[in-house]
Amino acid sequence: LLETGMLFPRESSSREVKELNGLWNFRADKSPDRNQGFDRAWYKSRLVETGPVIDMPVPASYNDITQDPTLKDFIGWVWYEREVVVPARWITDEGTRVVIRVGSAHYYSIVWVNGVKVTEHNGGHLPFEAEIGTLIRKDPTQPCRITIAVNNTLTLETLPPGSIQHMDDSTQYPKGFFVQNTYFDFFNYAGIHRAVLLYTTPAAYVDDITVVTDFLDNTGLVNYKVSVQGATTATLKVTLMDKNGQCVASSTGPFGVLKVVDVNLWWPYLMHESPGYLYSMEVHLMAANERSTYEDVYTLAVGIRTVNVTSTQFLINKKPFYFHGVNKHEDSDIRGKGFDWSLIVKDFNLLKWMGANSFRTSHYPYAEEILQMCDRHGIVVIDECPGVGIKDIRSFRNVSLNHHLVVMDELVRRDKNHASVVMWSVANEPASEMPPAEYYFKTLIQHTKALDPTRAVTYVSNSHYARDKGAPYVDVICVNSYFSWYHDPGHLEVIPLQLNTQFENWYGKYQKPIIQSEYGADAVPGLHSDPPMMFTEEYQKVVLQSCHDVFDQKRKQYLIGELIWNFADFMTAQGITRVVGNKKGVFTRQRQPKVAAFILKERYWRLANETG
């Protein structure tokens, strides 16, 4: 288990945050073995001293920033560097902890400060950090130089897995030619994808907070646990404030229960007139160690709600919840998977426009700021880890499973306090029919449930219902299917029968509620035909409508949700089935609606009115 917390960096009366977003110096190590940066210790001096550099924005994927095709598809180490002016008071005050935090970098990262390695991290999509106070105090006259090397190579031991294939036939391929194989359907964007920042805490500080909420009649219950680091003695005061800043409950000590009379529960969007109600929990630490006394303040947003699953329903606050939403990607023109507020706010406006109440973070954890938006707007989230493309039997080996378990540790540690997150997804479309899948998914799901007994756990399957080895262990069956697309292409008439059979089979065998976690069809925007043909907007529309008819019958029984694939078009690797990316979006990659978006809009608002 992980030893420290990973609270979102927030300013408070005791904490400061300094964002390091903007332009960094950048170089891709294009040496044949991609190892020149280490051989020549590029981290030891300024990057310009060891070779040419280019400007690279942070956060952003580096792939689409330049006109250089070798950078677009680059595999290996890239190097980022910049200097930072550290406020003098951070340096002079030895009672201040200075931490560097990387929101996410894809995939393997190493961080140096003034040439000294401070941390490394295995995996994209999740944050990592290191304390650097002692280092920058060594020579306060030096600017603080931060070097981050990032390697996007995927192997059978990474999550997602991939493999490197060398082509040695010199009559067919140039010397040294190799490709990165991946087993997922999105572009392997790389670089520093989320904010890099420095933040401070006092030397004795609030390291982690865990809240679990419940309610009884109209009294809300917030079970909390606070862990403190760096203190020999600590006193804690915990105060819960409502939206108007009025204190509604308080407590002292590292754990306890806050009771909220006349509670305002956290409700999903469209289920209540004021969805996404959040209280503010202020944790105030007064601590001391051998050196001094300290005060630390951290404020956490808390939504009070419960999650339960029966054999036919998904209950939020004991009321049936029907997921009518989308699957997304972190993906857009130019910035790739780089964090972008404008895009995020636009996407939320589109979700609300179409009446979507939920999404799955297909196929990896999204930025924390996105989950905070979901908390505030009442958008329900299925939080998926990067377990996508576990197709090769060798990916079921112990080393891979151990890494997968650690990734779940990191994901739950980061996202456990979000009211919007109601279910963890440990994988997407793994080879769950293979014999080792049973032990693998049993272990993974039990581990996740032990980390968080309060949320549902699932993975998303496209296996045969009777041969799926992990389905017995999930709380909710999530099924992806593409009738009349990957199966019986062009035959829209098979949808009612095949979809109905699919539901009856899965429910008949497992008696668990089902979410149609993907369905859809590619539509190249502007392509039209009647009668509908594949790849036209009309075909996509009819696929959706035919599926919806079946969903309408099944949602009266055990179907608890439908998530369209996909919210928007997104980039993929090049291949013969992809015309500049995947076109199953109901919006284009630039977020303009196709005909399908209007079909969903009408449907989702109708469902909202019907399901209350």
Positions marked catalytic? 429
Q: Minimum CB separation from ligand GCB for residue 544, in Å?
A: 14
Q: Minimum CB separation from ligand GCB for residue 305, in Å?
A: 28
Query: Binding string to ligand GCB for residues 177 to 196, with x set by CB under 6 A, is what?
Result: -------xx-----------
Q: Minimum CB separation from ligand GCB for residue 61, in Å?
A: 18
Under a CB-based contact definition with an 8 Å cutoff, are residues 220 and 213 in contact? yes
Cβ closest to ligand GCB, residue 314 vs residue 565: 565
Q: Minimum CB separation from ligand GCB for residue 325, in Å?
A: 15
Task: Tell whether residue 582 is a contact of ligand GCB (CB under 6 A).
Answer: yes
Alpha carbon distances (Å) from 500 to 31, 190, 343, 346: 55, 40, 37, 35
Under a CB-based contact definition with an 8 Å cutoff, are residues 379 and 404 in contact? no
One residue of 64, 331, 383, 518 binding ligand GCB per CB under 6 A: 518
Residues numbered 4-43 forming contacts with ligand GCB, rule: CB under 6 A: none
Cβ closest to ligand GCB, residue 207 vs residue 429: 429
Cβ closest to ligand GCB, residue 324 vs residue 360: 360
Q: Minimum CB separation from ligand GCB for residue 567, in Å?
A: 12
Under a CB-based contact definition with an 8 Å cutoff, are residues 590 and 570 in contact? no
Alpha carbon distances (Å) from 300 to 8, 16, 243, 278, 600: 9, 16, 13, 10, 35
Cβ closest to ligand GCB, residue 147 vs residue 480: 480
Contacts with ligand GCB by CB under 6 A: the residue count is 11
Element of type H or E holding 166: strand 162-166
Under a CB-based contact definition with an 8 Å cutoff, are residues 347 and 328 in contact? yes
- 325 closest CA partner among 378, 365, 389: 378
Task: Tell whether residue 565 is a contact of ligand GCB (CB under 6 A).
Answer: yes
Q: Minimum CB separation from ligand GCB for residue 327, in Å?
A: 8
- DSSP reduced 3-state for 505: helix
Other Cβ atoms less than 10 A from the Cβ of 327: the count is 24
Q: Minimum CB separation from ligand GCB for residue 596, in Å?
A: 14
Under a CB-based contact definition with an 8 Å cutoff, are residues 564 and 520 in contact? yes
DSSP labels for 519-551?
----B-TT---SS--TBSHHHHHHHHHHHHHHH
Q: Minimum CB separation from ligand GCB for residue 604, in Å?
A: 21
Cβ closest to ligand GCB, residue 462 vs residue 546: 462
Query: Binding string to ligand GCB for residues 361 to 390, with x set by CB under 6 A, is what?
Result: --x---------------------------
Cβ closest to ligand GCB, residue 29 vs residue 429: 429
Query: Binding string to ligand GCB for residues 445 to 464, with x set by CB under 6 A, is what?
Result: -----------------x--
Task: Tell whether residue 480 is a contact of ligand GCB (CB under 6 A).
Answer: yes
Cβ closest to ligand GCB, residue 225 vs residue 487: 487
Task: Tell whether residue 360 is a contact of ligand GCB (CB under 6 A).
Answer: no
Cβ closest to ligand GCB, residue 108 vs residue 570: 570
Cα 81 to Cα 193: distance, rounded to the nearest angstrom: 15
Cα 256 to Cα 279: distance, rounded to the nearest angstrom: 17
Cα 251 to Cα 426: distance, rounded to the nearest angstrom: 35
Backbone Cα Rg of the chain: 25
Q: Minimum CB separation from ligand GCB for residue 512, in Å?
A: 20
Query: Binding string to ligand GCB for residues 386 to 415, with x set by CB under 6 A, is what?
Result: ------------------------------
DSSP state letter for 247:
E
Residues numbered 198-257 forming contacts with ligand GCB, rule: CB under 6 A: none
Structure tokens at 493: 């008439």
Cβ closest to ligand GCB, residue 81 vs residue 331: 331
Cβ closest to ligand GCB, residue 152 vs residue 516: 516
When CB distances to ligand GCB are compared, the closest residue is 185
DSSP state letter for 49:
G
Q: Minimum CB separation from ligand GCB for residue 496, in Å?
A: 21
Structure tokens at 225: 């646990």
One residue of 145, 416, 554, 584 binding ligand GCB per CB under 6 A: 584
Cα 474 to Cα 470: distance, rounded to the nearest angstrom: 7
Element of type H or E holding 446: helix 437-451
DSSP labels for 54-108?
EEEEESS-STTTSS-HHHHT--SEEEEEEEEPPPHHHHH-TTEEEEEEES-EESE
Alpha carbon distances (Å) from 331 to 181, 335, 522: 20, 8, 17
How are strands ordered across the β-sheet holding 54-58?
Answer: 54-58, 22-28, 77-84, 144-151, 108-113, 116-122
Cβ closest to ligand GCB, residue 154 vs residue 236: 154
Phi-psi region of 279 (alpha: psi -120 to 50; beta: other; left: phi over 0): beta
Q: Minimum CB separation from ligand GCB for residue 107, in Å?
A: 18
- DSSP reduced 3-state for 258: strand
Alpha carbon distances (Å) from 577 to 1, 405, 582: 42, 33, 9
Residues numbered 415-434 forming contacts with ligand GCB, rule: CB under 6 A: 428-429
Footprint of ligand GCB (CB under 6 A) = 184-185, 363, 428-429, 462, 480, 518, 565, 582, 584
